[in-house]
Structure 1
Amino acid sequence: MFIAIHALAASGVVLLAPVQLIRRTKDRKHRWIGRSWVILMYFVCISGMFIYTLSGSFTVFHALAIFTFATTTIGVISIRLGKVRRHVSMMVGSWLGALAAGTFAAIIPSRDIPQLAVAEPGLLWGAVAFVVIAATLWVGYVLRFVPAQARISSNSGFLRKKSMT
């Protein structure tokens, strides 16, 4: 079960990040998609801690999950403090780490993804289609129906920098 949660959430992480990077405006829609991306990333990190299929013990993937959890959290705190560059670097770094880990998980023959592709290709492609459709519907909903205007006060919110006036 943890493998399924991990794979589905990781697929969502991989698909949502380019939307955040491509969109020019960083508005309420960016925050909605970003919050869903962070939740999915936390699902990836936490579920990854319960997967022990390679050796039955702690692996480099577990260390990556802990590191990614930390960098994602630092990214969230950074934007709340107004540190945009740190936020961008932490979030892009977390996404690139997820891409790298996913690539290695997909190309190592003893891992579950290649085995599933051979044993049950319909299930694998069905799961891929489900995630792509779900991510597309979510992004479409947010971009179409969530108002773009920013907050009334730029200093409101948890951990937001206080105004110097």
Structure 2
Amino acid sequence: MEHWNWLIATHAIAAGYVVVLGPANIFRRKRDRAHKIVGYTWVGAMYYLCLTSFWIQGDGGFTWLHGLSVFTLLTVTLGLVSAIRRRIDSHRGNMVGAYIGTVIAFAFAALVPGRRIPLLLSEEPATLAFAAALILTSSAALFLTARSLARRNTQPVTAPIP
């Protein structure tokens, strides 16, 4: 199997976080502090994912996936600006669209024979399982911590009893 360098490995890990954290915010009802914490983490992972893609090229140079990275950088930035300006419908549309595009690219990377992820699955399944478990566990820890912080700030303060 082709050598996995640190850039490709961290790119794949960021993709894992994007895929796992996206639904945590998309399907959650509350739009509170936890939503912001998970959302900013997701946006950071998306920016890292898109920017690192430009240094990962096959034999043919840039592909349609690099074009998707440019488009995703634009939509995530527009979604972030929309949230800051409280244009929630635009924010939701941009972020859900960016998530769907990333899931399509992830499926392509994971399912097309000859790409790195299928090769890793067939040659080193324990490594892939460990990376997936690490991503899922740390994502759950982030989500639960963010939710706990959000709850802590919304509980009413009571005056001490004299």
3-state SS, counterpart of residue 23 of structure 1:
coil
3-state SS, counterpart of residue 71 of structure 1:
helix
* Unaligned stretches of 5+ residues in structure 2: 1-5, 155-162
**What is aligned with 1:7?**
12
> 2:22 is aligned with what amino acid?
A
Structure with the greater alpha carbon radius of gyration: 2
Give the Å deviation of 1:94. 0.4
Aligned pairs (5 A) from 1:100-139:
100-139=104-143
* Unaligned stretches of 5+ residues in structure 1: 151-165
- Superposition TM-score, scaled by structure 2 size: 0.87
Give the Å deviation of 1:145. 2.6
Q: 1:16 to 1:148 in 2, by over 3 A?
A: farther
**1:144 maps to 2:140:** no
Which has more helix, going by share of residues? 2
**What is aligned with 2:49?**
44
State the aligned residue count.
Answer: 149
Give the Å deviation of 1:146. 3.6
Summarize deviations over 1:28-85 as a string: whole Å, max 9, x none.
11111100110010111011111113x3401111111111011000000111112111
> Taking every aligned residue pair, what percent have the same amino acid on both sides?
35
> 2:40 is aligned with what amino acid?
R
Give the Å deviation of 1:147. 4.6
Give the Å deviation of 1:89. 0.3
**1:68 maps to 2:72:** yes
3-state SS, counterpart of residue 24 of structure 1:
coil
**What is aligned with 2:158?**
none
